[in-house]
Every structure is written in structure tokens, then in C-alpha cells.
Chains A and B, each alone.
Chain A
Amino acid sequence: MMLDVKNVSIAFRLSADRVTSLKEYALRAVTGKLRYKEFLALKDISFSVKKGETFGIIGKNGAGKSTLLKVVSGILKPTTGSVCANGSIVPMLELGAGFDMDLTGRENIYLNGAILGYEEAFLNSKYDEIVDFSELGQFIDEPIRNYSSGMMARLAFSIAAVVQPDILIVDEILGVGDSDFQKKSKDRMLELMGGGTTVLFVSHSIEQIQEMCSRVLWIDHGKVVMLGGAEKVCTAYLSNQ
């Protein structure tokens, strides 16, 4: 078993009552108005993913898909329940996290790579591949504040796409940049997902889910609606809409 999610619930304190200054806190603590409204973003979710499996998650906007991915990747800690992962996890949730505008493309490759958990030797060996894939050429030694948004997205994608994780978490298959690069990046992503790694895949495109996943989890309002074979769950999901 690569990934085991057991009875995960997550509760947020609603921002209406969030206290952000000491004075306000003291005032409320004294007057006894320190109350919180709890909101359960995830309620008692359990599932497990086998090695090499591509596991899909579907649901409407606000169903809790992204929260679930954040819990699995360790960014959020579940209020109750546990997540057990055997191996390295690379979340492709946000590309270019931690980019520093004042640093050059080259420096950002190392910084962003380190943030994603790559090792130094790995980055050194993959450096040329990243630069080639991003098609940035000579601009790689320019500070990235001078980059266009397309160049930045290309660089970010190229760094993320060299991973060889045990578990890959994908939130929508991204196509970035111009149409040529979009095709190239989509192909690269499909290649990564088909390469035998364990994949956790979230998408709004039911066709993609049906095509790639063996099992699918359908969540709504933070609760599990259905868990089972891709065909069965997708049919139920479509007929529900």
C-alpha cells in the first residue's frame, strides 16, 4: 500500500470570528466573546491507493478536493484521522512556489528544486534537461523579474516536470505557455502519469479521469459519496448532475 488515508476530518475556524490583534483577543477573552464557528471541510474520509495505481478524485467546486490534496501532501494537518504515505510525495499543485524575482532563472531552478525536495546531485544532473525543456536558452541567466509570464510558467513547469516521485499528486493536467508548449507540457504530464508511478489525480474532465484512472473517489461537501471503479463512479457522477 503506497498511501493510506484513514478517517480524515478537517475543521476550519471561520474567519468571521478570527482575532488578529492582541488587543482584540484580550478584549474578547475578558468579555467571554471568544467563540469560534467550526466548519468541517472534510468529514471522515478514508481510502487507500496501491503502488502504481492512478487514483482519481472528482467532485464539484468547493467539494474539498484541493483540501484533501493538501492534507495528503502534508501541507495541512488533519484535525482527526491520519495519512500514511510510503515514499516521497511531489505535489504538482502550484508551479513556481517560492520563485524569487531578484534571482536569475538558474538560481531559481535550484531554489525551487530544493523547495520541491529534490537533492542537489539530482538537480545538477537534470539541470540541462530543465533548461532545454523550458526553451529559455540564453535568458536563463537573467533575473526572472524580466521574464514574461509565459516564460515564468514554462520555467516553473520544467522544474516540476523532471520529478521522479513515488507518489505524484496532480491537480488538473496543466497546459502552460503558447499552444506548442501547451501540447508539449500536456504530453510530458501524461508521460509522467503513465510511467508506473502512483498518481493521485484531480480533474474536472470526466473523460480524462475515465481514461487514466482505475479507481475513483467522488466527494461532495467534504464527504465521500462514492468510491469504486472508474466506470461506475463516473457514470453515477454524470447522471447526478
Chain B
Amino acid sequence: MVEKKTIQKAALYSILIFAIVAVFFYYAGGEQFKSRDVSTDDPVVATGGLPEITAGHIVKQPFTLDADNISQVKLTMATYDRVNTGVLIVSIRHGESILGSATVQLESIQDNTDLTVVFERPINITPGEELELCLESDGETGNAVTAYYGSEISLAKGSVEKPLSKEDLAQFDETPIDGILCFQVSGRESLVFGQFYWYGVAALFVLLVLYWLVVIKRLNRGKTSMSVLFIIAMKKYKFLIKQLVSRDFKAKYKRSVLGVMWSFLNPILMMTVQYIVFSTLFKSSIPNFSAYLFIGIVCFNFFSEATSMSLQSISGNAALITKVYIPKYIYPVSRVISSCINLLLSLIPLLGVLLITGNHISLRSLLTVFGLVCLVALALGIGMILASMMVFFRDTQFLWGVIITIWNFATPIFYPESIIPAQYMTVYKMNPLYHIVRFMRIVLMDGVSPDPKAYLFCILASFIPLALGILIFKKCQDRFALYV
């Protein structure tokens, strides 16, 4: 039976692909899967200085950190505008025991600036335990440094009082000071995800193999399953989708002089215009702004094009829908695939921009594929909802024109996300495109894998809309032929 062979082949391929992807993710995820950076809150605004830290005195600053080790401490120091000699000992203590310390030469400390003390070897701690950051010195009066303290958090506009309890306050020789040190402790927290990665992979692998065994067994008894139907449909309609996509593509560039070149030119020109506007007129402060902008534009352009094309996919093919039977999902799917080709073409100039601006491209950059899959799933989901709505309410196309513009501004494409006030951040992060664009930027600009949470958000942000889209589309599709 031909069908059975196809299913076996599909099962084998899916298991093989799963194994390759699992190994690749482990390699590409690297440190980011095993641990992540954590820090205490940003330092407070310096409002006062402690007395000179001389021999025999000790400054203690209580803190807690949800990390497994501490790697560095940042402090704001003062030298009284002179060169001091001697050493400063920075230590982390738990009760009476010293967990670790570092020694800094006083000559190397700059006046009124941040001092970063890196511990030779990360100090292991228990997450969340109450610790003390201690400062000691062998300096004498007139030849010593001191630390700044304060009690206010700086905001974009002015500053506010930081809520402090008595236990939080810094102490100078056991005497509480009216504030806390200007300090920030950083370390790394190991992630459960990394520890159990291979267990998870193994479990999924077993599930996948079991699933296919069940499917094949059911097939032998003459029963079909979802995946069997899906594979048969894919085989049957592959040719049709290919034809529809090639029609879209040919029709788009027919009778234009530059033809397919527009797929490259369009994003480049858009980026150039926006780059000039935002970097010269608005003085954007984002590092590597051209790459930042280009990634945003490529993602959003695809989303906008794919959804607008899918929107028309049912109502625009009315002549076909009322005359021949084709599964209705073919229409939005073929439109999204057409846009995908454009997306792939626009990745070429993106690669060029990344190379020119000095981002290093490595095997790890392949993680963008994950981001792209999420982006396509999101566009397809939204596209299916729009296509169904459009059949019943023609107003949808005009509404969508407005919504896509709002969406454009609600996504950090040409501005940094830091300009969004902290209290609106939760609402802001509801935007699925935010997570996908952020993912792409971390992979392509920082050259590292995002932490596991970012993957989860991307999956949620794309597959929930997709599931919703399929559900709505499925419910409406029988009535399309009557209303279109």
C-alpha cells in the first residue's frame, strides 16, 4: 500500500528531524539554557557619603539574591579627590562566615564613579539567603576611600523614595545609616530547564515514537488518524498549492521592469528611509541601529503582507469557491506561503546589513529559523481569522488597515523598548510580535540564544493565535460558499 509507505517515511523523517533539532538546540542554547544572569535592583541615587573607611571600621550592607553564585559587585565610590594607598577588601558574608572576598588597590579607585569588583571565582550561595556585603580597608584618616549611599530610585522623570525596611539599611560599625549603599550584586542562577533538558528530550522522543507506532497500528486496522489525513492532504494538494503560489508570485511582478528585484529592494529602501529619519532627525541612541531597524522591518513587513493577503484570500477567490471544490484552508495557506518566499528573499539583504555592521554570523544564527516559524504561524493564525471575518463583514479590510498601523507603533521596530513606561510594560508585552522580534534581535545581534523563557513566550505568542485561527476558520468555512 502506497499510503502506508508514505506514513512510515513521514514517521521516520519526523523522528530524525526531532533528534537533529534537539541536539542543535542544546548546542545553540549553550550557557543560556543552563543559567541566566540575575542582579539585585539598580543602584539607588547617591545622596550622601559614608565617613572614611579606615582600618578597624566595617561597612555592612544586607541583601538577598536569587542566584546560585555571585560573580561581581558594583559600588559607587569616593576618594576625596586624592590618590590613596592601601587596599579595600570587599567580602560577602553569611552571618559570621566569610563566603568569599576580593581585594582592590585603593590607587585604582576613581573618584565619584562606579567600581566593579569581580570575584576571582564565583562565590557559591544558597538562593534567597540573607547575606551581607562588607567593605573593609587598611587606610588611615586622610588616606582612605568611602562609598556613597542613598534612598531614592532614579526614574525617567525625577526620582522616587525606595521603600526600605530597617533590615535593609546599610550599617557603619553596626550603626544603621539613613539609606543603602549605591550597589548592585550580580550572579547567575542555574535553570531547571538546562538540568533536565535531556530528560525532557528523551521523554518527548519516546512519546513521538509511541505516537507513530499507534498511528501505524491503527492504519493496519484500516483506521485513519489526524496525521494520516494531514499527510494525504499534503500529498494531494502539494501541486495545487505550488501552482497557486507561483501564480501569486508571477502575477505580483508581471509587467514590472525590475520584477523579483523588488523583493530585495523594498526592505532596503524602507530601511534606508527610516534609518535616515530616525537616526538623524530623532537621534536614536540604539547601538547598531541599522541592524536593529532592519530586523524589525523584515519581521513586520512579512506580518503585514501575509495578513493583508490572507484577508482577501476567501473573498477574492469567490469565483473559484462557488465553482470548484478545494479545501478552503488552501487559500489562506497559499497566500501565507507566497509571503514566505518574499520573507526568505528579504533575508538576503538582512544578512548583508548584519555582515556590514559587524555582527558575526555563526551556526547559532540558525536559531532565527525558530523565530521565523513562530512568525509564520502567527501570521497564518491571524490571517485565517481575518479571512473568515472578511466573508461576513466587508468592513474588516478597512478596520485592518487601521489596526495594522497601530500594531506597527505598538511593536519596537524603530524605537527602543526602554521608552515604554514600566507600568505599561505588562500590557505592552501582550503583543505577540514583541516577543518574536525580540527573539530575532537577541539571536542575530547578540549572537547568543535567548533564555528558555523567551522560547516559551514565542511559542505561546504564535501558536495560541494559530489554534484560534484554525478553530474559527473551521467553524465558518461551510458557510463561505453561501456568503462570499
Contacts and interface: CB of A to CB of B under 8 A. Distances in A.
A74 B325 contact: yes
A98 interface: yes
B234 interface: no
Given A18-B483, A77-B478, 5 more contacts: A70-B322, A75-B325, A94-B324, A98-B324, A120-B239
Interface residues of A, number: 33
A97 B323 CA distance: 7
B250 A103 contact: yes
B157 interface: no
A184 B376 CA distance: 49
Given A98-B319, A114-B243, A76 B393 contact: no
Nearest to B322: A75
B394 to A, nearest CB: 6
B257 interface: no
A123 to B, nearest CB: 8
Contacts of B251: 100, 102-103
13 contacts: A22-B393, A22-B396, A22-B399, A75-B322, A75-B323, A91-B325, A97-B319, A97-B324, A102-B254, A114-B243, A115-B320, A115-B326, A118-B239
Contact of B324 (A102, A107, A116): A116
Interface in A46-92: 70, 73-77, 89, 91
A21 B247 contact: no
B392 to A, nearest CB: 8
Contacts of A94: 323-324
Interface in A109-132: 110-111, 114-120
B255 interface: yes
Interface size range of chain B in the complex: 20 to 34
Nearest to B479: A77
B320 A76 contact: no
A111 B478 contact: no
Tell me the dominant secondary structure on chain A's binding face: loop
Given A97-B320, A115-B326, A23 B247 contact: no
Interface of A: 12-13, 18, 20-23, 25, 70, 73-77, 89, 91, 93-94, 97-98, 100, 102-103, 107, 110-111, 114-120
A111 B242 CA distance: 9
A89 B320 CA distance: 16
A13 B239 CA distance: 36
Nearest to B255: A102
Nearest to A93: B323
A75 B324 contact: yes
Nearest to A104: B250
Contacts of A116: 324
B321 interface: yes
Contacts of B394: 20-21
